[in-house]
Amino acid sequence: KTHLVWLRADLRIHDNPALYAACQDPDARVLAVYIATPEQWRRHEMAPRQAAFLLDNLAALRHALAGRGIPLHYHQCPDFSDSVAWLADFCRSQGADALFYNYQYEFNERRRDRALEQALDGRVTCQGFDDGVLLPPGSVRTGDSGMYKVFTPFRNACLRKLAEADMQCVPAPARRVNPAPESRDGLAPFDYPRQAPGEEYPAGEDAALSRLRTFCHQQMQDYRKARDIPSLDATSRLSAYLALGVLSPRQCYNRLSRAYPLVLEHADSGAFTWLNELIWRDFYRHLIVSYPALCRHQPFIGWTRHVAWCRDENLLAAWQLGKTGYPIVDAAMRQMNQTGWMHNRLRMITASFLVKDLLIDWREGERYFMSRLIDGDLAANNGGWQWAASTGTDSAPYFRIFNPTTQGRRFDERGEFIRRWLPELAAVPDTYLHEPHLWPGAGEDGLDYPRPIVDHGSARQTTLAAYKAAKDRG
């Protein structure tokens, strides 16, 4: 018997339901396969940093699998439809009886999986598993069995389920008694731009698990208060691992509830606040399953389609490069451009600035974030952008507009974060740091830093009018 495990966004051997199921029969020959699809990734705007991180993690995974006697076959083809054709052939050539995989919930991925099942036409049994979520999409339902559209009741329903659910992780497979021979295909680098993720991101599930442990034991207590301050290293930085499935949310939950057994009861604790974030992550994943149009550039709130966006390449480029003249926005964009990660508070501030101060279509921002983030994840990114743009379910109301200067003062009071990313403001005293154009000490030549590209007060009025007009139309 031959069992094939198709690995996608689940690059780990621990708590991998598909891998675990494939290994249940001790006599089966178990092979794993990974298919790189660079053309598809290009269409999905995958960041070169994420591509490099993926390759590093694939190498670690291949090593871990080899230790269990499971060869990892690697193949590259342009896009999802080619991958379906290739995999159907591969199943045939290997005489596979069953194919195991963990679901991906995005629209194109689901379509690909349906196409594969059709191509296999019952010759190979396909077994899919829920993964990459705390609770399976579709399992958290309102009284009349719909999807929750508001986060808090969704969260409360999740908490009730989590208290009852079996959240045990499945173990890594034992070493096969009759291991299949090593795969001969090398792990060739993909045909896709790659940018080294840096020391911050060691590859492999051991690194992810060790970060999870350290975070739980050393930082969780302060998380509630410190997580909003970008100059502090107060969040887990696990998002890049979660996005590729090097770590699972169940593993996070298990570690969390072992360290803080009363987490579900202490709503004011750091542990509860962190769990809340993991549930936000689930919320956005469940939403894209219930509303697949979210994966296809559609807003959740229909009337927002009528907002007359401003198309200004110069303003967009200034935002992308971190040259808006608003220090907190610019420092944040530079953090992302230079490292591939941006603090959550800053994602909210920069997204709001693009949409509400520059009146630029949120989809431009969504695309740009995806192309730069090491933790790029369709559901979370789309959810975050639609929240900031007031186009999503349970998002900020359109008339709530962040003031970037006030936000900067509030969350980077002494400018520690700004100074780290904007060395050109080194000489500016704290009092002027959030409005450097007002600093009288800049001298005749001024600072080597732009003046604000828009005036927040008038931009706010323009945006309110544009949203109101769209709402009246819609």
CB of 282 to ligand FAD, least distance (A): 8
Q: Which stretch binds ligand FAD (CB under 6 A): 111-119, 238-246, 304-312, 329-337?
A: 238-246
Instruction: Please identify which residue in 132, 384, 436, 450 interacts with ligand FAD, judged by CB under 6 A.
Output: 384
Residue 280: active-site member: yes
Contact 274, 121 (CB under 8 A): no
* 260 belongs to the binding site for ligand FAD (CB under 6 A): no
**Residues across the chain:** 474
Residue 11 vs 124, nearer CB to ligand FAD: 11
Residue in 119, 123, 115 with CA at minimum distance from that of residue 97: 123
Instruction: Please identify which residue in 40, 235, 403, 463 interacts with ligand FAD, judged by CB under 6 A.
Output: 235
204 Rama class: left (phi>0) / alpha (psi -120 to 50) / beta: left
Q: Using CA atoms in the order 174, 179, 180, 181, what is the torsion angle rounded to 10 degrees?
A: 120
Residue 199: active-site member: no
Residue 277: active-site member: yes
Q: Which stretch binds ligand FAD (CB under 6 A): 11-19, 75-83, 237-245, 392-400?
A: 237-245
Instruction: Please identify which residue in 61, 243, 359, 454 interacts with ligand FAD, judged by CB under 6 A.
Output: 243
- Helix (H) / strand (E) containing 98: strand 98-102
CB of 259 to ligand FAD, least distance (A): 14
Q: Which stretch binds ligand FAD (CB under 6 A): 94-102, 257-265, 279-287, 412-420?
A: 279-287
Residue 280 vs 417, nearer CB to ligand FAD: 280
Residue 274: active-site member: no
Residue 3 vs 345, nearer CB to ligand FAD: 345
CB of 311 to ligand FAD, least distance (A): 20
- Helix (H) / strand (E) containing 463: helix 456-473
- Rounded to whole angstroms, the Cα distance separating 25 from 43 reads 39
- Rounded to whole angstroms, the Cα distance separating 40 from 297 reads 16
Instruction: Please identify which residue in 65, 278, 287, 425 interacts with ligand FAD, judged by CB under 6 A.
Output: 278
Sign of CA dihedral 249, 255, 258, 261: negative
Residue in 286, 245, 277 with CA at minimum distance from that of residue 139: 286
Residue 183 vs 350, nearer CB to ligand FAD: 350
SS3 sequence of 17-60? HHHHHHCCCCCCEEEEEEEECHHHHHHCCCCHHHHHHHHHHHHH
CB of 459 to ligand FAD, least distance (A): 19
* 362 belongs to the binding site for ligand FAD (CB under 6 A): no
Task: Give the number of other CB atoms < 10 A from CB of residue 201.
Answer: 24
# chain residues binding ligand FAD, by CB under 6 A: 28
- Rounded to whole angstroms, the Cα distance separating 440 from 436 reads 9
Residue 100, both tokens: 């195991």
Residue 45: active-site member: no
* 281 belongs to the binding site for ligand FAD (CB under 6 A): yes
Residue 6: active-site member: no
Q: Which residue minimizes CB distance to ligand FAD? A: 384
CB of 389 to ligand FAD, least distance (A): 9
Instruction: Please identify which residue in 277, 394, 416, 435 interacts with ligand FAD, judged by CB under 6 A.
Output: 277
Write down the H helix ranges in 95-238.
107-120, 151-164, 205-214, 220-226
What residues line the site for ligand FAD (CB under 6 A)? 227, 235-239, 242-243, 277-278, 280-281, 284, 344, 347-348, 351, 369, 373, 375-377, 380-381, 383-385, 388
Catalytic residues: 277, 280, 309, 344, 362, 385
